[in-house]
Structure 1
Amino acid sequence: MKALTNLLGSGSWQARPDFKLLAGPVLIILILSMMILPLPPFVLDLFFTFNIALAIMVLLVSMLTEKPLDFAAFPAILLFTTLLRLSLNVASTRVVLMEGHTGTGAAGKVIEAFGEFLVGGNFAVGLAVFLILVIINFMVITKGAGRIAEVGARFTLDSMPGKQMAIDADLNAGLIGEAEARQRRREVAQEAEFYGSMDGASKFVRGDAMAGMVIMAVNILGGLLIGMLQHDMAFADAAHTYVMLTIGDGLVAQIPALVISIAAGVTVSRVNTEQDVGQQMLGQLFSRPQVLILAAAVIGLLGLVPGMPNFVFLLFTALLAGLGWWLSRREQERLVEQVVNEAPPASRMEAPEASWDDVQLVDTLGLEVGHRLIPLVDNRQQGELLARIKSVRKKFAQDIGFLPPVVHIRDNLELGPNTYVITLKGVEIGRGEIHPGKWLAIDPG
């Protein structure tokens, strides 16, 4: 109420109205209005259709979420849908008892359709179907979902200290930041609150099922008394009219209640994974082809028993066997593809690490000689060039003050036999020819 007052009293309402804040109060007002004010049959049809559509939406959302906290509003939705069904029961009961003597269409087309079409106009069949739905909802689904929510709430509360310590340890170790730690603590608290709320909200569904049975008895007894005493109807006519209206009213309320109960069971019974319920079921149920093949064998054996519906059993045998064979072949192809992808092809083999053999060193000073000049640099052939170069480097260091780089000498078969080349960092800076064994005549003038 404070939020509504602040919203209406602030200037932001005119600038940017937020209608989400009014959804809850408007829904409560509608529910109370349906309990107090008489509704025409057309409006009842609208609300009954909306109730069915809402139940289907809740079921689909519960199946498509990946974890329970993704649908944390489910306990509140469960409460509102229960109140909506009860208010519709009150409104439809008023119309049935007040206008039921006019015919089965007095409470709207939806109730008439559920009473006439779905059960074939036989109120005994309708009564049996209604009781079966109530038993399924009350004894099976709601009770199981409530038990799961209760156990989940206990386990969640017991595991909260350990989860909090794990979050603190990750924070202290620097594995997560402060913002992520706050988010994880908030999720732990929300998980405990969610299961606790689901434990209590499941009681609303059980109470709704019991209230549906009481409302059905009141409608039948009250309708018979009103029809026979106030409208002078025969017992058979009153029973047919009011019982059919009551059964239609009960079915149109219990079917959405059953759908909501299934959604509650799906929400609390799921395991936190990165897949929705459909992906989990299909992925785990049909992940083993051997299971399908064995199931096909068992169904096939049952189909061969005399007196059994052979066609149906053998049909499912063929379907399961074919599906198992297809899944087995698909798994083999996937394994082969995985092996091929994991095997490193020749083009993808890692290149060896680089070594000094791959690096071409460039000499600072170099001397390349032809093959006839090799004896001049070979000590084994009494070559004196290396010793003279060493003495020249020493003399240069004494005169200039620094030692010149080492001169690397190598033979080069691409040169002329008597040719030599002087290089500086691999670049030729001088070239000449020497003729060993001959004298050089120099003109002194």
Structure 2
Amino acid sequence: MAPKSRAKHERQSNYMKYAKFWKTYIEKKFTKEFLFSLVWDPKRLPIVSVFLVLAEIILNIFVIHRVKYTEIDWVAYMQEVGGVVNGTLDYTHLKGDTGPLVYPAGFVYIFTVLYYLTSQGQNIRLAQYIFAGFYIVLLSLVLRIYSKTNKVPPYVIVLACCTSYRIHSIFVLRLFNDPVAMLLFYVAVNLFLDNKWSLGSLFYSLAVSVKMNILLFAPALLLAYLTSLGLKGALIQLTICAFTQLILGLPFLLSNPIAYLKGSFNLGRIFLYEWTVNWRFLPEEVFINQYFHLGLLVLHLALLACFYSSALHCLCSYSTLKQVSEKVKRQLKGKKEKVDMGAAAQLFILPLFTANLVGVACSRSLHYQFYVWYFHTLPYLMWSTPYSNIARLCLLGVIEFCWNTFPSTLVSSAALHVCHGTLLYGLWKNKPLSKGRQQ
């Protein structure tokens, strides 16, 4: 046989071998049971996550190029940080088209970087791509958390993420600062789950420095500090959080401390009735009434008290399981066995997400961009209730409907409260101490 013919025959033979190998491999691995598990089995989420992230990259590019950008706060952000760029450090003089600067120093630094990257905010398309990057990173962090907990079926995560118009809009069509704060928060949560408490506290404080809604997680996080690290360890973490705020805010504190504290950490700020998502069914005079705000604060504290015992139980159990797992890991050092920490991760995540939900449900007002505050926690919370899968999906669907109704109506705002109440009741009914269950 001629050398050329022999080489061609060998290539064909190798091709047939590879084709046969891959055919056998696919038939062996991609069985009906395996494909079914990709939909229903929470342990398969890491595999599904790869395809979900790729799909989201394509979807975000499509949205950026096919859906019209809507200006709301981006220009005001650029005007506010533009004042800082020009040398103004007094918060009383930092303003934009939508009003005075009302965010802490971390916001200023991050959006100053965006100010320079986007040619003083003029390059909107580049800003959209940057926020699409924020979305992909945030989604990856969230998927890592869900993968650690092994609680929610993959199809729920895929369905929730890919069908939420509002969330994609908040990131790439509106360019709000809320996604940046939540991105830093999910970095912190991942670090906490990896037992990197100090670094996690640093990122948690950075998230607070972008927007104060991150403080809604604080009650559960403080309890986690105390149960996992003890009083001394908790004080160290609180010091890290406080010192981070001090360092970030120092230039503004030196310029006008009262203006900075009042402007960036104003807990009594009055929201505009025209933008409310959750209180449209109330008259405006009730919406802005201070006694109404005080009542919501009392309700907030009361609900936190209702969940205190279960949160304490979860976090104490989490601390115990972490200690046991570390001991087991040391014993298995050098061996192939893996320690399943799904149960421990659930015990940490549930109180954290529940505390935030309580805060969202009792908020004096919710604006459309605030949806990102708790959107990615909703599947986990739903699957922590005793409801059926159909009921859980229906609740998620109604919540999505409420946040996509613009402007909000009497029905949409009331329905949102019904969903929040139903979810909180399900969490309370299914709390770990109610029947001796562990999540």
TM range (shorter): under 0.3
TM-score when normalising by structure 1: 0.23
The structure whose Rg is larger is 1
